Amino acid sequence: MTSRLAATIVFGCLCADASAQTAAPNISRQQRDLLKAIVSAVDASTQAETADLKWQHHVLRTSDGSHYVAFSVEPPASTPLPAGAALLYIRLATATPAGERRIAERSGVRDWLAGSRTDPRLLPQRGIAIGEMPAFGAGAIAARGSTASTGSTDLKLMALERERARQEEEDRNRKRRNELEGKDSAARSSLPFEDFDLASSSTRADGTRLITRAFTAGPGDYDLFLAWADPSAREPAATIRVVRKSLSLEPARTVGLITSSVILADSVSLRPAPYSTYEQASHPYSIGLMEIVPARAAKYARENNLSLAVQVINAQSNDAGMPDITINFRIVRVNGERESAVASLNPQTYNAASLPPDFSLKAGHPLFAAVTAPLATLTRGDYRLKIAVHDRIANTVANTETDFSVIGTPASLLAEAPPLGRAFRREAVLDPGVLAAVLDGLTPASPSPALAGALAIARSGRLADLLVEEVVPATEAGLRTALTGLALLSIGDSSSAAQFQRALQQGAPVAPAQFLLGAARAVQSRDPDAIAAWEAAVASGAAPAITSQLLLEAYLRRHDLQQATQLAGSMPRDNPAATRMVASARVAAGRNAEAIAMLEPHLAAQPDDQEARWLLLHAMYAQFVRAGKPLAAAAAARFAAEARAYIDAGGANAALTREWTATLVIS
């Protein structure tokens, strides 16, 4: 049955703070010189797209129809960010076709640094107006004025000319719409976007340094340049680094229900208040009151929540500006080309009853859906979240989807290891060597012809033939009943246990009869009864040699580590099976170092014992998980070598071994 998971919708209104102009920012001579050097480095850059840039971006929509692109970048190891605050410069330029000279576009920041303009603000451009997303870019001027630690992002938003003549406004809007939809080409004289930050210090929760910003642009092909330097270095200009990312933005659809990129997140929550313009610069995924922390990858552990946000675009409204939207979410498991439904989330609605009274699509308020759902009911694997948005007013539906994976953490992957006390195997008791010892215990000094014949049949391995019984003397009744039970056990008949109990009542020898009774109980998955029978066989002093091994496996299945450890201590060390059993007990008891010390010399002498190698890997991985810290390089290499030997030999747990190896963290 499809399970229902909890889901939550939150709403965030994005609006830029247009206010009066203030003076240009005051920065020190050193900052000005370094920023000028960075801009010049970007001007002179001829590098191709940075290949190993760890990049993710999401395309949303502003109220004027422009694309709002939020992104995060983790620079490659060859061009790391400084440990402290960086002086950051961001430039979006029109893409240059291969083999052609870079298109000449004026830089407002360069002009300002050269003294040819009073501030780095961009003049209004044709077609793409400043949107009503959080203020960004050189066209976004902070309401609180400039400080020594802020760049053009912290300047005040340039006032838009909103009181134009009605005809002029209609012409402008029509031209912008045509450009956004790719019907007209906007001739740019200035860069589409520029920004700088004198003290950029974005980090992930794990401490990883990255660049997180956003820009607003229309459709087209672009080159995004990110450049930075360490202002605290002795020679800051020598630390300048430049990376480049190419991207294309499709023409915007201004009619017809659609959605934005689906933002998979580590969390989605509500803030008590929006970020200030100064703070907003490094929080492009904070949408009004909605705080989105984008996921580093579309991979979640089962103990995590699946969180995401998506913008609904071009929804129709009623006369009051209210939409009537229903959103359905379904999770399907993906196996190659096949999909199978596994869960659904509660449908969400956006209408006058659920939205704030002052919400208005006509005023350009964006509509966001945010969902958080637990993943504990999902198994490891690949999944797809299917999102269906129904506009009840327009009677249209928009569909989108996003893929994600549920992965194992080191602790959960360790828990997936097969039990150390392996399941009872009937074949272990029916092995010819074991069976010979059992039959020796059931053979009297002078058996009758009928019993001798039955014993001969049993020794030949034709156990099922023992179901045809011949009459034996009363003194041999218990022995013959035990042989009948052995025949039933050989074919997996659970009634064999009753035969062995009856044989004991008829005076059959305790050791073989209790041994076989224990096997019958183990077949029935009644380990406590099996343990009792095998302990009775051992107490008789004549139990088959394998009894201790079977007892130890049963103790481990019962997780009776005290008894397992005690029994393991008394087992011989020269038997491979005994070594494995003792090591299993050590691992189960968390005494992994002792298990490793036993298994390494054993494997040196018997390198083909893949069961022992698996136990060694189990013990080593358990040490890593329980330590809760990265492995030393030597220990990781040692584990990898053992894992490769096990995988190459076709070990039964090769797939899990690969996943264990992939989760190792090296210090």
The model's pLDDT over 225-250, given as tens digits with 9 standing for 90+, comes to: 999 999 999 999 999 999 999 999 98
Q: Which fold has domain 426-600?
A: 1.25.40
The average confidence (pLDDT) of the chain is 83
Q: In what order do the strands lie in the sheet with 3-5?
A: 3-5, 338-350, 325-335, 381-391, 396-407, 299-301
Least confident of 323-327, 362-366, 381-385, 565-569: 565-569
Q: Assess whether pLDDT exceeds 80 at residue 659.
A: yes
Look at residue 135 and tell me whether its pLDDT is greater than 50.
no
Q: Has residue 183 got a pLDDT over 60?
A: no
Fill in the amino acid letter for 331: I
Q: Which of 49-53, 197-201, 432-436 has the highest mean pLDDT?
A: 432-436
Given a cut of 70, whether residue 278 has pLDDT beyond it is: no
The mean pLDDT value for 11-16 works out to 40
Mean pLDDT along residues 495-504: 96
Tell me the per-residue pLDDT of 633-651, one tens digit each, with 9 for 90 and over: 999 999 999 999 999 999 9
Q: Where are the alpha helices (DSSP H) in 139-193?
A: 166-180
Helix (H) or strand (E) holding 96: none
Q: Strand, coil or helix: what is 112?
A: helix
Mean pLDDT within 374-400? 94
The yes-or-no verdict on residue 134 having pLDDT over 60 is no
- Provide the residue ranges of all domains of the chain, joining segments of one domain with +: 3-407, 426-600
pLDDT at 311 over 70: yes
C-alpha distances (whole Å) from 499 to each of 15, 142, 477 are 83, 89, 11
CB 428 within 8 A of CB 434: yes
What is the H or E stretch that residue 291 is in?
A: strand 290-294
Tokens 């004025």 belong to residue: 145
**CA atoms within 13 A of residue 174's CA, in its CB half-sphere:** 6
Look at 81-90, 137-146, 477-486 and tell me which has the smallest mean pLDDT. 137-146
Q: Give 592's DSSP letter.
A: H
pLDDT grade for 422, boundaries at 50, 70 and 90: confident
> Can you tell me the mean pLDDT for 375-398?
94
Task: Tell me which of 31-35, 165-169, 297-301, 335-339 is least confident.
Answer: 165-169
pTM for this entry: 0.64
Bigger pLDDT: 182 vs 537: 537
- The pLDDT value given to residue 141: 25
Looking at residue 175, what is its pLDDT? 58
Which distant-in-sequence residues (6+ apart) come within 8 Å of 302 by Cβ?
375, 376, 378, 379, 380, 406, 408, 409, 412
pLDDT at 169: 54
pLDDT over 80 at 108, yes or no? yes
Share of the chain above pLDDT 90, in %: 51
CB-based contact 509:441 (threshold 8 Å): yes
Q: CA gyration radius for the chain?
A: 37
Using 50, 70 and 90 to split pLDDT, how confident is the model at 174? low
Write phi, then psi, for 247 (nearest 5 degrees).
Answer: -155, 155
Query: Which residues lie closer than 8 Å to 202 by C-beta, 6 or more apart?
Result: 72, 209, 210, 211, 212, 282
Residue 216 CA to residue 287 CA, distance in Å, equals 14
Q: What is the DSSP letter of 352?
A: T
- ∠ CA 115-191-93 to the nearest 5 degrees? 130
- The yes-or-no verdict on residue 582 having pLDDT over 70 is yes
pLDDT at 53: 86
